[in-house]
Chains A and B, each alone.
Chain A
Amino acid sequence: MWKFTVRRIFVMIPQVILLSVIIFILAKMMPGDALSGLIDPNIDPATIEAKREALGLNNPWYVQYWDWIKNAVQGDLGQSFQFKMPVSEIIGQRLTNTFWLALLTLIITYLIAIPLGITSGRFNDTWGDRLITGYTYVGFGMPLFIFALVMLWIFGFKLGWFPSGGSVKPGLDPGSFEYIVSKFKHMLLPALSAALIATVGTVQYLRSEIIDIKQKDFIQTARAKGASESRVYNRHILRNSLLPIAAFFGYEITGLIGGSIFIENIFSYPGIGQLFLGSINIRDYTVVTSCVLLFGIAAILGSLLSDIILSIVDPRIRIK
């Protein structure tokens, strides 16, 4: 088990390096740079040129890459041109927001998915099941950004139940009870919107697992031994059908960190997704590359986590 984990981490390193090179080249291929937004008669072009030179933007990409990676390895991701502060600090700020949002989304996703999946699997081909599968089909078909906009319009503006943007009400003391409540309130609508869409895959998956397992021989055996129906479902079927979902957990986290881009932009929620998009638009390379690296590492770690969970919960699977 440990051997496996360590080996996975070693395999990860070249993956991350390759990823960072590709990202860097792609970022450099985009036309313009952080200074091209400053086409402004009030700013001296000579100043812009001097800044460009000072930032090393005139060097060939491999020189720039080397400068960047040299510092990145030492934990210095560089300075954001736009924010004029260390990239690690700005990402740290935003990542906290994204982390809480992702956590809440995850909780809501499972809160919805598990009861719906069980109902739908246990009573398959009833009206309840059809209703639930109907919802999952709508969920599959509905693009997240449209759904989120509709949610924002209805609950944020028409009904006014939720705040319509930001991560916290202005002017509260960080750490106070009010502050935490306000943060939670600001997260709820985006998290709910994301979860209602994200959950449909899990519901479907759980449903088919349950239907699949309840026809297995060992279930027949359990029934034959006289186990009550609720015992059969809770002890035998459910535990077995939750295995793959537990294993999927790692991927889910990855998806939430990377997939925050829509939700955060629609709800003006200052997380990593919004930072990423904004930085692409103004060509703030240091931030863009760091974000992508972060997404990449999250993806790799997520799949590692999934593999580990899988090997723990399902002894049938042996990883060599």
Chain B
Amino acid sequence: MKNRSFLKALFAIMLVLMLALTACSKESSKPADSGKTEQKGEEKEEGKNEEKAENKDGLYSIEDFNNVKTNEGEAIEGGNFTFGLVSDTPFEGTLNFNFYSGDPDFQVLQWFDEGLLTWDANYVYTNDGAATYETSEDGKTFTFKIKDNVNWHDGKPVTAEDWAFAFEVIGDPKYDGVRYGSDFSNIVGMEDYHNGKADKISGIEVVDEKTLKMTFIESTPSLLTGSIWTYPLAKHIFGDMPVDKISSSKEVREKPIGFGPFKVDSIVPGESVVLSRNDDYWRGKPKLDSVTVKVINPNVVVQALEKGEVDTVSSFPVDQYPANAEMSNVEFLGTIDRAYTYIGFKLGTWDKEKKAVKTDPNAKMADPKLRQAMWHAVDNNAVGDKFYHGLRWNATTLIPPSHPEFHDATNEGRKYDPETAKKLLDEAGFKDVDGDGMREDKNGKPLVINFASMSGGDTAEPLAQYYIQAWKAVGLNVQLLDGRLQEFNTFYDRVGQTGDDDPAVDIYQGAWGVGIDVDPRGLYGQDALFNFTRYSSAENDALLADGVSEKAFDVDYRKEVYKKWQQFMVDEVPVFPTLYRAVVVPVNKRVQNYAIGDGTGIYLGDIALTQKEELPAK
């Protein structure tokens, strides 16, 4: 009997331990990737084999990559193409452009629906898409004509009415998506409609079945680069539904509709979608018979590619590239990411009343020379080579080279030069008064700069430490905020995503994915909440406003403005860019006509295969 009670006790202890274990493990198994899509902050594409980077031959350069797949062999008719949607969570299943918010849904959507306008390599709308457009003299009125052969998957034509309906739904106060914003309120009458003062949007006029006229309050060149909502919403299906019920309806989640190259056949919620060819596609019948989109876990991307189980993937972890560069059954495509990493200096606070930046001239980091010196003190080329095998590299200006038209390649930013850094600090009066090797501030008081950096990935810590050492080498005492890295949500809360900036943060390392429109007002404007540095100046405002003025419709003028702005930011340094990034995507060798990036003129309907069978690695 004694034995039994002992066993029971043991058992109870085991149970408790098991519970404790599960409790801990729930916490620790949280992946580094927090599932955020647009926010580029989480450093997930980290270099693991640093010793490889020591070897100069282990370095790669984005210039050696092509963004269009080379076609080998003869294409066959039909076949099934498998697209690996890399995600550690299932896709949400809000399968309509007007309602989706997560990138995984976008990866599914692109196969069966598309926008009415397409854009070229400079992100300017072209007339090659499903609709063409004309602009009035004053640039405020746009007339769109939807091509006659553009039909929904159920055979009904895509009409101007459908397009106008999309605006009515997004502008509706009950709309539960995230798309409503300045792009919409810039349409004449939209604000009134949004606030319930009007039942119609006066600036949107359906001229005839296929013609739509849109009038904007302000004309800006941004209108031509992504500021027009181009996704119609099928009115014959959604017209009678209450607006707040659309996103959860069967027609969005189970039997979604579009007018793209493929039609949805079946959906396993969160896991996979099978699509078949849309013979009535307006660009002509697609070459493939069917497409399978399925979610694959980031841990198994490489294996799935080697097996030929997927033909390509939505994203590939750059840190795994060096080990797999020689994979025999794929070709790696590469392009420059529309993103940059940067270090920002806190220069003020957010005024919630005025909804504007309040720059503090007495901020700790207020001296431009201090900021310039801190840029000169870090060697970002070394960072790119050592941590990212050259797949990230030194950034020079705040308009990344993914916008080739506006990126000023002649501007070199501030080069790594510790001597200049020291000189600048001496000039500004940051001198080592007490002889401890560290500089004091202008008044001779100790200067400690608190550095906020995000956790996630293996290199987050060494990278932050590298910067701290580089600054120490020029005599600046920089400390990690709280002595540790910050978790994603905490980081952005403290940096100021809700406007409550934490005064303890002096400098921070963040990253931005930039939109296709080059206009940087959303990140550096005076009224931008995401202007986390809280920097503002009259000249900055003037330049930013000039970049979207009517004069800026002239591309050369706009280039000139942004060239000036890039130089202005190099002089003022409210933030300095550290790294530009490459996107690398493997594509199976049996695939033809596949491209990544913008304005390639290659569309998903063009994809063809050279053999029906999967092609595994040898």
Interface residues of A in 234-273 (CB under 8 A from B): 251, 255, 258-259, 261-262, 265-266, 268, 270
Interface flag for B607 (CB, 8 Å): no
Complex CA distance for A93 and B102, rounded to whole angstroms:
20
Given known A-B contacts A165-B300, A281-B35, A283-B489, A83 and B94 have beta carbons under 8 A apart: yes
The segment from A38-46, A111-119, A125-133 that touches chain B is: A38-46
Given known A-B contacts A51-B178, A164-B300, A262 and B25 have beta carbons under 8 A apart: yes
Interface flag for B34 (CB, 8 Å): yes
Chain B 117-135: CB-based contact to A (< 8 A → 1; otherwise 0): 0000000000000000000
Check A157–B303 contact: CB distance below 8 A.
Answer: yes
Check B265–A86 contact: CB distance below 8 A.
Answer: no
Given known A-B contacts A83-B92, A84-B247, A166-B271, A43 and B178 have beta carbons under 8 A apart: yes
Residue of B nearest to A299 (CB): B19
Complex CA distance for A43 and B530, rounded to whole angstroms:
10
Chain A 40-60: CB-based contact to B (< 8 A → 1; otherwise 0): 111111111001000000000
Interface flag for B362 (CB, 8 Å): no
Chain A residues closer than 8 Å to B484, beta-carbon distance: none
Q: Which of B247, B487, B497 contacts A39 (CB 8 A)?
A: B497
Interface flag for B411 (CB, 8 Å): no
Check A270–B269 contact: CB distance below 8 A.
Answer: yes
Check A277–B303 contact: CB distance below 8 A.
Answer: no
B contact residues, total (Cβ < 8 Å): 78
Check B530–A39 contact: CB distance below 8 A.
Answer: yes
Complex CA distance for A150 and B274, rounded to whole angstroms:
30
Interface flag for A296 (CB, 8 Å): no
Given known A-B contacts A85-B248, A170-B271, A212-B4, A268 and B296 have beta carbons under 8 A apart: yes
Chain A 151-173: CB-based contact to B (< 8 A → 1; otherwise 0): 01100110010001111101111
Residue of B nearest to A215 (CB): B3
Chain A residues closer than 8 Å to B41, beta-carbon distance: 39
Interface flag for B62 (CB, 8 Å): no
Complex CA distance for A121 and B514, rounded to whole angstroms:
66
Chain B residues closer than 8 Å to A36, beta-carbon distance: 489, 492-493, 497
CB B294 to nearest CB in A, in angstroms, measures: 6
Residue of B nearest to A86 (CB): B248
Given known A-B contacts A201-B14, A268-B295, A270-B269, A160 and B497 have beta carbons under 8 A apart: no
Given known A-B contacts A84-B99, A212-B4, A262-B29, A44 and B530 have beta carbons under 8 A apart: no
Chain A residues closer than 8 Å to B22, beta-carbon distance: 258-259, 261
Interface residues of A in 199-234 (CB under 8 A from B): 201, 205, 208-209, 212
Interface residues of B in 30-48 (CB under 8 A from A): 30-31, 33-39, 41
Complex CA distance for A122 and B300, rounded to whole angstroms:
43
Complex CA distance for A31 and B94, rounded to whole angstroms:
26
Complex CA distance for A259 and B21, rounded to whole angstroms:
10
Check A165–B493 contact: CB distance below 8 A.
Answer: no
Residue of A nearest to B495 (CB): A39
Complex CA distance for A54 and B146, rounded to whole angstroms:
36
Interface flag for A30 (CB, 8 Å): yes
Q: Which of B7, B248, B515 contacts A208 (CB 8 A)?
A: B7
Chain A 168-191: CB-based contact to B (< 8 A → 1; otherwise 0): 101111000000000000000000
Interface flag for A282 (CB, 8 Å): yes
Complex CA distance for A270 and B297, rounded to whole angstroms:
11
Residue of B nearest to A41 (CB): B522
Complex CA distance for A36 and B309, rounded to whole angstroms:
35
Chain A residues closer than 8 Å to B25, beta-carbon distance: 145, 261-262
Interface flag for B459 (CB, 8 Å): no
Interface flag for B272 (CB, 8 Å): yes
Interface residues of B in 247-291 (CB under 8 A from A): 247-248, 253, 265-266, 268-274, 290
Complex CA distance for A209 and B90, rounded to whole angstroms:
44
Given known A-B contacts A41-B530, A170-B294, A261 and B29 have beta carbons under 8 A apart: yes
Chain A residues closer than 8 Å to B178, beta-carbon distance: 38, 43, 47-48, 51
Chain A residues closer than 8 Å to B523, beta-carbon distance: 41
Residue of B nearest to A39 (CB): B39
Given known A-B contacts A160-B307, A166-B272, A167-B271, A31 and B490 have beta carbons under 8 A apart: yes
Complex CA distance for A205 and B299, rounded to whole angstroms:
36
Interface flag for B488 (CB, 8 Å): yes
Complex CA distance for A168 and B299, rounded to whole angstroms:
19
Chain B residues closer than 8 Å to A275, beta-carbon distance: 90
CB A17 to nearest CB in B, in angstroms, measures: 20
Residue of A nearest to B101 (CB): A38
Interface flag for B11 (CB, 8 Å): yes
Interface flag for B304 (CB, 8 Å): yes
Interface flag for B18 (CB, 8 Å): yes
Given known A-B contacts A47-B180, A85-B248, A31 and B38 have beta carbons under 8 A apart: no
Check B489–A84 contact: CB distance below 8 A.
Answer: no
Chain B residues closer than 8 Å to A83, beta-carbon distance: 92-94
Check A165–B34 contact: CB distance below 8 A.
Answer: no
Residue of B nearest to A38 (CB): B178
Given known A-B contacts A39-B38, A39-B492, A205 and B300 have beta carbons under 8 A apart: no
CB A280 to nearest CB in B, in angstroms, measures: 7
Given known A-B contacts A32-B490, A165-B300, A37 and B94 have beta carbons under 8 A apart: no
Interface residues of A in 1-47 (CB under 8 A from B): 30-32, 36-47
Check B89–A274 contact: CB distance below 8 A.
Answer: yes
Complex CA distance for A110 and B102, rounded to whole angstroms:
41
Interface flag for B26 (CB, 8 Å): yes
Chain B residues closer than 8 Å to A47, beta-carbon distance: 178-181
Check A171–B11 contact: CB distance below 8 A.
Answer: no
CB B272 to nearest CB in A, in angstroms, measures: 4
Check A265–B88 contact: CB distance below 8 A.
Answer: yes
Check A93–B295 contact: CB distance below 8 A.
Answer: no
Interface flag for B537 (CB, 8 Å): no
Interface flag for B192 (CB, 8 Å): no
CB A97 to nearest CB in B, in angstroms, measures: 10
CB A251 to nearest CB in B, in angstroms, measures: 7
Chain B 88-110: CB-based contact to A (< 8 A → 1; otherwise 0): 11101110000101100000000
Complex CA distance for A255 and B528, rounded to whole angstroms:
48
Check A265–B303 contact: CB distance below 8 A.
Answer: no
Check A41–B512 contact: CB distance below 8 A.
Answer: yes
Complex CA distance for A93 and B33, rounded to whole angstroms:
25
Given known A-B contacts A258-B22, A277-B29, A82 and B102 have beta carbons under 8 A apart: yes
Check B29–A30 contact: CB distance below 8 A.
Answer: no
Residue of A nearest to B494 (CB): A31
Chain B residues closer than 8 Å to A82, beta-carbon distance: 92, 102
Interface flag for A78 (CB, 8 Å): no
Interface flag for B410 (CB, 8 Å): no
Interface flag for A139 (CB, 8 Å): no
Chain A residues closer than 8 Å to B309, beta-carbon distance: 164
Q: Please, could you name 11 A-B residue pairs with CB atoms under 8 Å apart, sorted by A?
A: A32-B489, A46-B355, A85-B253, A167-B268, A170-B268, A170-B292, A171-B272, A268-B271, A268-B296, A270-B90, A278-B89
- A residues touching B (Cβ–Cβ < 8 Å)? 30-32, 36-48, 51, 79, 82-86, 93, 145, 149, 152-153, 156-157, 160, 164-168, 170-173, 201, 205, 208-209, 212, 251, 255, 258-259, 261-262, 265-266, 268, 270, 274-275, 277-278, 280-283
What 9 pairs between A and B have smallest CB-CB spacing? A32-B489, A44-B181, A278-B89, A40-B38, A170-B272, A171-B274, A41-B522, A45-B529, A31-B489
